[in-house]
Copies of this chain bind each other. A is one copy, B any other.
Amino acid sequence: MSLNSSNNLTIALDVMGGDQGPLVTIPSAIMAIQQQPNLHLILCGNEDVITATLNQHGISKDCLAKHKQLSLCSTTQIVSMEDKPSYAMRNKKNSSMRKALDLVHEGKAQACVSAGNTGALFSMAHFVLKTLPGVERPALISALPTHDNEKHVFMLDLGANVFCDSHVLYQFGVMGSVLAEQVDGISKPRIALLNMGEEAIKGSDHIKLAALELSQNREINYIGFIEGSDIFANKADVIVCDGFVGNVALKTCEGVARLVYHRSKAIFTQNLFSKLLSFLLTPSFKKLFKTMNPDQYNGASLIGLRGIVVKSHGNANSKAFFAAILEAIKEVERQVPEKIKSTLERGLSAN
């Protein structure tokens, strides 16, 4: 393995992750280096498979050895979608996923991108990279669509943690605020806590305590509680909840989108006339339902760690995995982990 560390920007890719592995990740890698001349990608995975796939895209083995933007990190194992996190942690130390994370930990890459098993990636990333000072638990954060086509809303935690106490929710608020500000350039992002109602008396004690903590940090623009019905209403830039609730909300969105799609199809096949309309409208509606599936909207980031980890969807296509690489680049350039650390430290010293 030769690591070209002369480039400014080095990202480790878990080439074998995701439902289609290299068939998706390699084309995305090529798109990324073509678009970003200062980008260096370390391709972690099975050497034979990677070289064969690169060859199909006109990059021979010799060419790879001399390539300024690509290098290979040969691994022998793959974390499957079925592997339990604990099993993967113990038994998949030479997997493409683990090696990509190791490279970040060793300072040889500034970020890791994977479309692999979320639970395993989360556990390994937590174990290998550790959390930032002041962060108890890392969180999975993603951008969801809003009524405004031009804007999205970040939501965390989307399933990395089952239960989160008030202080963890507070930290998530700070982490989300930094990400929205740095990656999306939103000045003073509006931070809200997902709750059963908007009134201050609603919800559990730990949510009320988290609200108090967030409102006491002057750097955070905490706007209060938000209900599930307003997630997409562009009322907040960041919505904070525990991983169980976030996961259920995200997957419920997917379920509703499927139900609407199913029922719309029924409308379109009522009679010959509506079938004709369906033919004419289908492309627009397909596009709509694709955007509506937040699970595939784009990649998610694991934040709160001493390193950048971006998770692409398991069945991401090349365009989606490419978007995840671009997300990682943004987080590297804006130094998201460093800024989370300093914002938390300032919040602590102010109280």
User: In angstroms, how far is the closest chain B Cβ from the Cβ of A97?
Assistant: 19
Given contacts A203-B244, A270-B284, A292-B260, is CB(A162)–CB(B196) below 8 Å?
A: yes
Interface size class, chain A: 35 or more
Stretch at the interface among A48-56, A245-253, A333-341: A245-253
Picked from B201, B229, B281, the residue with its CB within 8 Å of the CB of A267 is B281
Chain A 217-272 residues near chain B, CB threshold 8 A: 227-233, 241, 243-245, 247-260, 262-264, 266-267, 270
A280 contacts chain B at the CB level, 8 A cutoff: yes
Alpha-carbon distance between A281 and B268 when the two chains are bound, in angstroms:
9
Q: Are A228 and B247 in contact (CB under 8 A)?
A: yes
Alpha-carbon distance between A204 and B267 when the two chains are bound, in angstroms:
40
Q: Are A232 and B258 in contact (CB under 8 A)?
A: yes
Smallest Cβ-Cβ distance to A283: which chain B residue: B267
Chain A 190-229 residues near chain B, CB threshold 8 A: 194, 196, 201, 203-204, 227-229
Chain A 256-310 residues near chain B, CB threshold 8 A: 256-260, 262-264, 266-267, 270, 274, 277, 280-281, 284-285, 288, 291-292, 295
User: In angstroms, how far is the closest chain B Cβ from the Cβ of A289?
Assistant: 8
Chain A 109-148 residues near chain B, CB threshold 8 A: 145-147
A149 contacts chain B at the CB level, 8 A cutoff: yes
Q: Which residues of B contact A259 (CB under 8 A)?
A: 145-147, 232, 292
Smallest Cβ-Cβ distance to A270: which chain B residue: B284
Q: Which residues of B contact A145 (CB under 8 A)?
A: 259
Q: Which residues of B contact A277 (CB under 8 A)?
A: 277, 280-281
Given contacts A162-B203, A248-B228, A260-B292, is CB(A255)–CB(B243) below 8 Å?
A: no
- State the main secondary structure of chain A at its contact with B: helix
Chain A 317-346 residues near chain B, CB threshold 8 A: none
A151 contacts chain B at the CB level, 8 A cutoff: no
A188 contacts chain B at the CB level, 8 A cutoff: no
Q: Are A251 and B227 in contact (CB under 8 A)?
A: yes
* A263, A267, A280 interface centre (most CB from chain B within 10 Å): A263
Q: Are A260 and B262 in contact (CB under 8 A)?
A: no
Picked from B203, B255, B264, the residue with its CB within 8 Å of the CB of A288 is B264
Q: Are A229 and B254 in contact (CB under 8 A)?
A: yes
A173 contacts chain B at the CB level, 8 A cutoff: no
Q: Are B281 and A263 in contact (CB under 8 A)?
A: no
Q: Are A229 and B255 in contact (CB under 8 A)?
A: yes
Q: Are B228 and A262 in contact (CB under 8 A)?
A: no
Q: Which residues of B contact A248 (CB under 8 A)?
A: 194, 196, 227-228, 241, 245, 248-249
Q: Which residues of B contact A149 (CB under 8 A)?
A: 266
A84 contacts chain B at the CB level, 8 A cutoff: yes
Q: Which residues of B contact A262 (CB under 8 A)?
A: 147
Picked from B204, B230, B249, B264, the residue with its CB within 8 Å of the CB of A249 is B249
Given contacts A145-B259, A263-B291, A263-B292, is CB(A229)–CB(B251) below 8 Å?
A: yes
User: In angstroms, how far is the closest chain B Cβ from the Cβ of A49?
Assistant: 28
Alpha-carbon distance between A84 and B230 when the two chains are bound, in angstroms:
22
Alpha-carbon distance between A162 and B270 when the two chains are bound, in angstroms:
43
User: In angstroms, how far is the closest chain B Cβ from the Cβ of A72?
Assistant: 34
